[in-house]
Structure 1
């Protein structure tokens, strides 16, 4: 998936009061992902193809990069949009700085871009709730 200067990126950042291990668990464990994102058959393995399913449709994805507790990247293909979602976790004094980038919004994809901008805010709010509900070991 090529990106060029004509594409846009949605970027969201959060300061979370949780250790990177807990954040990572919520980003990569299928049953937790389903609580804040969508139903999926995700596995944190490079090359793994998976689908995210919601009432509005399906997103086809493939894991592109995994660096445990630090970086996760996967393709995100839906409704004519071919993009890449990248999560970056950085440990901080209070927990984790989480950055999410979805890159690849081309000219004429304003609706998808604005939808993603609003949608990721809601997903991240829910992600924070899911992480907060985990105990210190990251279990329910």
Structure 2
């Protein structure tokens, strides 16, 4: 399955697309440099190399990930395995996150984010994720509101 293509994402995928002024090099750094990624997500030890396993230090439990695909400044895909953080939720959340970057005519980036297999199992976590992450790129009215864990620090820090 290629979650980076809209036609192949599952029905329970969360999908977002944005046109960003920043070039793909800067967006790639924000997604793959541990300190920059931690500024808007969670502490982590990511290395964008296929097969590399890394962990996000979640608030309730660690989120175990593995790099499934990495093409610098073009594509980053990793598995997302979240163990239940409380006794009420018994199922493990196994999903895949895909970031697709494409240079725009103006030199910016068209960023597509797909979190496949997430929404159907984790609707309570959707609210938690929104509350736990800063959700603004500081677009100041020039585009639609930004969601899906894209904070101002994602690009400012890179």
Structure 1 and Structure 2 fold alike (TM over 0.5)? yes
Aligned to 1:83: 95
Aligned to 1:130: 154
**Structure that is richer in strand per residue:** 1
Structure 1 residue 114 displacement after superposition = 5.5
Per-residue CA deviation, residues 65-123 of structure 1 (Å, 9 max, x unaligned), is 00110000000011311000000001112300111100013755432455557767262
Superposed CA RMSD: 2.8
Structure 2 residue 40 is the aligned partner of structure 1 residue 14: no
- For residue 96 of structure 2, give the secondary structure of its aligned residue in structure 1: strand
Higher relative contact order (CA 8 A, sep 6+): 1
Q: Which runs of 5+ in 2 are unaligned?
A: 85-91, 136-146
Indicate the larger mover: 106-115 or 28-37. 106-115
Q: Using the alignment, how far apart are the partners of 1:108 and 1:37 within structure 2?
A: 20
Aligned 8 A contact 2:9 2:116 in 1: no
Q: Which runs of 5+ in 1 are unaligned?
A: 135-140
**Structure that is richer in helix per residue:** 1
Q: TM-score, normalised by structure 2?
A: 0.71
Aligned to 2:74: 70
Aligned to 1:96: 109
Q: Using the alignment, how far apart are the partners of 1:6 and 1:29 within structure 2?
A: 28
Q: TM-score, normalised by structure 1?
A: 0.79
Q: 1:100 to 1:117 in 2, by over 3 A?
A: farther
Q: Using the alignment, how far apart are the partners of 2:149 and 2:100 within structure 1?
A: 16
Q: Using the alignment, how far apart are the partners of 2:67 and 2:120 within structure 1?
A: 25
Per-residue CA deviation, residues 28-54 of structure 1 (Å, 9 max, x unaligned), is 111111111110111001000110013
Structure 1 residue 6 displacement after superposition = 7.3
